[in-house]
Structure 1
Amino acid sequence: MRRRSLGARWGLAISTALVAVFVLLPIYWMVATSFKTAANASAQPPQLFPDPVSVENYGIAFNDHGFGQYILNSLVVSIVATALVLVLGTLAGYALGRAKMRGTFTILVILLVLSVFPVIALIAPLYLMMRTIGWLNSYQALIIPYTALNLPFAIWILRNYFIGVPKEMEETARIDGASPLRTVWSVVLPMALPGVFTAGIFAFTACWTEFLMALSFNSANEFRTIPVGIALFGNAHITPFGAIFAASTVAVVPIAILVLVFKRSVVSGLTSGAIKG
């Protein structure tokens, strides 16, 4: 039994190490290549470590390709869309979690289907709609679709979390004279913050990394977001690998910070939602 237990531990350790290498190696290669010189970034055979260490690629990305504008565009679109998702998702999730009405299960099934609906099937009709109302090459061309696409999943998470909030606390607040909206804001929402953080991080990440709609709806350079901007760094003759890796490294930073700061809330929100749902 001891030998089997020791073998299982070694097997688990080796498997974990292999998975960690498989996951972290591309990230390391991206970051290391971003600090190579532009010539060494595409050298053959490739360098394992940047020698010499250079920030040349970051200068190329920001100065030659206007990467700063792409960051600004992605921040505006992602932050506004995420805020709308959280406001609407909180109200809808609370209503579905507390209201006693017929058709709740049907609504939840529809939300679950919508959350996995393929984006490519929506591109053509949405493009025609944006062109008709004059929204092509604008922030709202991405903010509104991103909000609609991420809202079902946010409602699903938040509804499952609101179910676990004790009703007695709401009843006490109402006895004290609090309005329904004040009860949600002051009593229910603070207890559901892990679910809110989870929904917000998922929505922000989806908006930050979305490519197809951003490519289709905003062709003007001043409205391009990070994924589209990076994809268009190269041309038919030159692919600036160093600048691409530098821009990709910068693009990963906000997501990494969010995950590291709110990792406990995300885990708590997902597990609580799964158990209570």
Structure 2
Amino acid sequence: MIEIFDAHKRYGSSVALAAVDLSAEPGQVTAVIGPNGAGKSTLFRAVLGLEILDAGTALVDGRPYERARAPLRTLGAAIDPSAFHPGRRVVDEVRIATVSQGLSSRRVDAVLDETGLGLVRRRRIRALSLGMRQRLNLAVALIGRPRNLILDEPLNGLDVDGIHWMRGLLREAADGGCAVLISSHILSELERVADRIHVLASGRMISSADIASAGEPSRHVVVVSDDPEALRALLISHATDVAREGRALLVRGMTVRAVADVVFRNRFFVESLAESRDSLESDYLRLLAEAAPFDPVLRESPRPERPS
């Protein structure tokens, strides 16, 4: 289990994390999404002990990761695919990780096959594509069969087959009891594999949602008219919400039939009328738009003192 409590981190006058709480439970894929610079990588590095929090706590299975008795059995991390020595062979990097943890040498071949690297095992890392370096990063993360995984943008550089493979691997790891914490900008994939989504913006956690318990995505009616403002004024008394996007209106709280009835009775011309549903992407963009303004340089509250 990965737990983060009241995490604060700043670099000079710039705030990277502000009072962030998060937990990644065993048996679940927990995703953190947000724009570039939101603090995702800082948060993950803090769990690994690569960044020292100004205040707050990051724990892996109840203790700081640097105190883990068997680090790669406790937590596997794929953070930076460019961190490997370019002159080493693929198999050498995996062997180094194996020997460092006192693991059986048989794990080398097993994890290379598991991550699709068996055919390039003797290739120099400088000759690998980004997608293959991502696979190597994951191979090292998996070498100790860890109880927890942290993956920072692991889908970058993967082709369609690679993304499909990664989705299956993440789901298999979680179903086997592993706590998986992941970030990615490919929201459509996270929507398919994640159990819980956290949205981070300007160092703040602005939303957390359990996808598994969210039920069916909310639906709305999209109607395109040559006079959207007049139609909006008419529909607003019947619907719970009517938002305008150009010539289109997004109507919530009414069925397609109800909207069509209003349009017909009031002789409005419409080009299209259809039901749609929200996606993770639309919810994410809405949350960012609705988030209260926050200055990432100047904190609203005093910086907390480092705990003794």
Which protein has the bigger strand share?
2
TM-score over 0.5 (shorter chain): no
**TM-score interval w.r.t. the shorter chain?**
under 0.3
Which protein has the bigger helix share?
1
Q: TM-score, normalised by structure 2?
A: 0.20
Q: TM-score, normalised by structure 1?
A: 0.21
